[in-house]
A and B are shown apart, each in its own frame.
Chain A
């Protein structure tokens, strides 16, 4: 049996709603926080701060709208305030440079199927996490939400308040950039030899 004061507090409709509706989204938000901050301690702080704010502003949440998107926006703003105070503008990426480098990789690499199975498969989980964390934030966010959390383009668009077409193009660029990073890691670790392009 709960102590008396706890029993009183959980009978509050606000507490009940928050418990039933908001708490089940904790895991998806924790994982997003983990990938955005890159370490469990910061992810813990981010998740706590997010839920405390969500609880404080629960009255502002419009029932019937997308709660996960609302919580996600709180987390994203909290992340910006806590970890990106110095720069509130999205990081700028010279996409032409990525494209040029991607073309170099394409010319020197063997079949990507071959790369994925024989070489990328040997990369450590940490290497892949690091490659993901090194992506500029706007690309990393869509890759995390789509490829790890498995969300639909439409839901990602709602979370980020951007058009679906922008989700598609960020995903395209994010995956391309990730591929070049993974290729670099594989090359650094000697998994890709100089004569690799002649393998096929």
Chain B
């Protein structure tokens, strides 16, 4: 064994790519050779420090959706080409597609129009959650939980849910008005720029679906089990449930079991 041989294998010892016998043989050399020992310890220190101090990041939710939208959900020319047999200008293709889709709907589903994305509570909640993370939505009511709940309840037609959340810091509440429908929002902090965002609306208005609504599958699931959960690949979870005459939607970056557990105990401020 010489220093040159040791140097060629030093990273493989650190990355545990060698057999136990070979590793021991090389490390035995290092105990006798201060230069090789230093080489081994310093490279191992470099690896460990990078591993412990450089953290992996999740893909931001809005970025994930913008990529999904631009690729697999784009009404682009790929399937049109297959369908029509030639390529269309994307703008013309899109217009044709919209007319086609509207035509089909008017023929077969005359009493049911598709819900616009902006009226979908799930989309609204995810968008608002991103705005909370990004700092563009900041709770305007930062009094204590009970006062905020009392104030919100004076303004809206439903019972406002402001649960006690162990391990979370109270951030505050916001009242908003979406095309005449009043909504309540409360935010809790989880530390390290993580939040739990709670969107609330009048259940009767949601079921009526005039200004805001839910996708059919969520409505069916809520009717059946009182809960609806959807997880997204970027680890964002949304949980919807009925609370008295209120529809609540909680969004956070935590697994569904954990998020549901936060709202299943009876710990409201009332």
| Most interface-central of B15, B43, B54, B216 (chain A CB within 10 A) | B54
* Partner-binding segment picked from B56-64, B194-202, B203-211, B221-229: B56-64
The answer to whether B12 and A176 have CB atoms under 8 Å apart is no
Which B residue's beta carbon lies closest to that of A4?
A: B101
Q: Does A64 contact B (CB under 8 A)?
A: no
* Partner-binding segment picked from A18-26, A80-88, A190-198: A18-26
Instruction: Give the CA-CA distance A146 to B51 in the complex, in Å.
Output: 9
Q: Which residues from B are CB-within-8-Å of A120?
A: 45, 49
Knowing A1-B217, A27-B59, A112-B42 touch, does A6 contact B73 (C-beta < 8 A)?
yes
Which B residue's beta carbon lies closest to that of A34?
A: B57
CB of A24, distance to nearest CB on chain B (Å): 7
User: Is chain B's binding surface mostly helix, strand, loop or mixed?
Assistant: helix
Instruction: Give the CA-CA distance A25 to B145 in the complex, in Å.
Output: 41
Q: Which of A16, A113, A148, A171 contacts B11 (CB 8 A)?
A: A171
Knowing A178-B46, A182-B46 touch, does A148 contact B51 (C-beta < 8 A)?
yes
The answer to whether A168 and B11 have CB atoms under 8 Å apart is yes
Q: Does B47 contact A (CB under 8 A)?
A: yes
Q: Which residues from A are CB-within-8-Å of B33?
A: none
The answer to whether B75 and A9 have CB atoms under 8 Å apart is yes
0 or 1 for each of A107-121: is its CB under 8 Å from B? (1 = yes): 000011101100011
Knowing A1-B217, A171-B11 touch, does A182 contact B49 (C-beta < 8 A)?
yes
In residues 5-40 of chain A, which contact B (Cβ within 8 Å)? Answer: 5-6, 8-10, 12, 14-16, 18-19, 23-24, 26-27, 30-31, 34-35, 40
Which B residue's beta carbon lies closest to that of A182?
A: B49
CB of A99, distance to nearest CB on chain B (Å): 11
- Chain A interface, number of residues (Cβ within 8 angstroms): 56
Q: Does B38 contact A (CB under 8 A)?
A: yes
Instruction: Give the CA-CA distance A120 to B97 in the complex, in Å.
Output: 59
* Partner-binding segment picked from A70-78, A90-98, A122-130: A122-130
- Chain B interface, number of residues (Cβ within 8 angstroms): 53
Knowing A10-B73, A52-B70, A128-B49 touch, does A24 contact B233 (C-beta < 8 A)?
yes
Q: Which residues from B are CB-within-8-Å of A30?
A: 57, 59, 63
Q: Which of A31, A128, A175 contacts B56 (CB 8 A)?
A: A31
Instruction: Give the CA-CA distance A6 to B73 in the complex, in Å.
Output: 6
Which A residue's beta carbon lies closest to that of B94?
A: A5
Q: Which residues from A are CB-within-8-Å of B41?
A: 111-113, 116
Q: Does A153 contact B (CB under 8 A)?
A: yes
**Interface pairs A-B: 6 shortest CB-CB:** A112-B41, A116-B45, A128-B53, A175-B46, A15-B72, A55-B71
Besides the contacts A6-B73, A115-B45, A148-B50, what 12 more A-B pairs have beta carbons closer than 8 Å?
A15-B71, A19-B72, A27-B56, A34-B57, A48-B66, A112-B44, A116-B41, A116-B45, A148-B51, A168-B8, A172-B10, A179-B46
5 contacts between A and B (CB under 8 A): A4-B114, A52-B71, A112-B42, A116-B48, A143-B50
